[in-house]
Amino acid sequence: MKARDPIADLRRIAFLLERANEATYRVRAFRSAAKTLAALPSAEVAERARAGTLTELSGVGDVTARCVAESLAGEEPVYLRRLLATEGSDLDAEATALRTALRGDCHTHSDWSDGGSPMEEMALAAVELGHEYVVLTDHSPRLTVARGLTADRLRRQLDHVQTVNEALPEGFRILTGIEVDILADGSLDQDEKLLARLDVVVGSVHSGLNDERSKMTRRMLTAIANPHLDVLGHCTGRMVSSRPAAVTGPGDRGHRARTRKESDFDADAVFAACAEHDVAVEINSRPERQDPPKRLIRRALEAGCRFAINTDAHAPGQLDWQRFGCERAARCGVPADRVINTWSAEQLVDWTRRRS
């Protein structure tokens, strides 16, 4: 394919971001990369793109370097393509439409692990929000700081869910689930047979977040290939802001926020595996997480992944945070038919059963 002009592409991206009123630092990244590259002979730009040394230049980061490599390969950069795809659409209206299409939430916690409220109260709040289901995904044993459930306690929880469901309003139910730790070797931190019994399995990395790239990639790929895994939770583990305890809640130990950078992994390999094994990528709505970042949502979308727009609520009021995830999804052009929690409970459970 004929190479495109990478500098023109970077400038076009900056222009579209400015017009969409995106954060200044984000725009600046594209403008300064364009400026740096414009000062170099084009042969050197091409050579550095081939050698993977563009990021050694000041003002060129991973995202801009990737755009340049794609342009030089004759492809419209993914970043640009996704921006163009949402251009001219009313993002508020798109976000609202997505939120309206959601019929449940696949990632919630109760006071059985580190949530602040009983599952009954979480369920009643979800009914008020118009949901048809919530998946109860308390933590797994190794996450002791979050009172992760042993196999025995999880079995007892399953019985309790059944009892609670009988008392809930018609047309609503709690689906069983877990937020299972993805262990250092990529295995899942719960008994296989129990995982097989659950309606939905969300898997997340909570430890060794600074693992080096190849190790983290292998760890995630192993988990994604596990037929029990349905949803990959908050995949980068980043924390973008500190939240006061009043917001996260006293019972929020597992998710107490400090700023934390993204884990390093090969996102293209991970999303390709999610698409291949039909594992949904979570768009985590928690304000301090906003995980994955939009550039990765765009890549997952290109890779053909499904998504789950979840709140990761640790208290009833937090169940209303889905709006934040919908806004970010809309900005990246995620269509409702790629989002698994636009399905009914029956469709969702059909899908997870078929997968495992």
Binders of Zn ion among residues 268 to 297 (CB under 5 A) are: none
Token pair 């296989």: residue: 192
Which one of the spans 18-26, 150-158, 267-275, 304-312 is the region binding Zn ion (CB under 5 A)?
Answer: 304-312
Task: Return the H-helix or E-strand segment holding 275.
Answer: helix 267-277
Shortest Å distance, C-beta 234 to Zn ion = 6
Which one of the spans 257-265, 283-291, 292-300, 305-313 is the region binding Zn ion (CB under 5 A)?
Answer: 305-313
User: Cβ-count burial of 61 within 10 angstroms (0-12 exposed, 13-18 middle, 19+ buried)?
Assistant: middle
Tokens matching residue 102? 């959601």
Residue nearer to Zn ion on the CB measure, 132 or 181: 181
Cα–chain-centroid distance for residue 110?
21
Count of residues near Zn ion by CB under 5 A: 3
172 contact partners, CB below 8 Å, separation of at least 6:
123, 126, 127, 131, 132, 133
Please tell me the distance from the alpha carbon of residue 37 to that of residue 10, in angstroms, as a whole number. Answer: 10
Which one of the spans 31-39, 141-149, 199-207, 262-270 is the region binding Zn ion (CB under 5 A)?
Answer: 199-207
Shortest Å distance, C-beta 202 to Zn ion = 7
Q: How many helices (H) and strands (E) does the chain have?
A: 15, 7
Residue nearer to Zn ion on the CB measure, 143 or 161: 143
Shortest Å distance, C-beta 34 to Zn ion = 37
Chosen residue from 179, 211, 230, 252 binding Zn ion by CB under 5 A: 179
Residue nearer to Zn ion on the CB measure, 105 or 132: 105
The reply to whether 114 sits near Zn ion by the rule CB under 5 A is no
Tokens matching residue 133? 């289901």
Token pair 């900005």: residue: 331
Cα angle 248, 250, 254 (rounded to 5 degrees) comes to 65
Chosen residue from 86, 157, 204, 342 binding Zn ion by CB under 5 A: 204
Confirm if 119 and 330 have CB atoms less than 8 A apart: no
Shortest Å distance, C-beta 191 to Zn ion = 20
Which one of the spans 164-172, 198-206, 271-279, 294-302 is the region binding Zn ion (CB under 5 A)?
Answer: 198-206
Chosen residue from 181, 230, 282, 312 binding Zn ion by CB under 5 A: 312
Residues binding Zn ion (CB under 5 A): 179, 204, 312
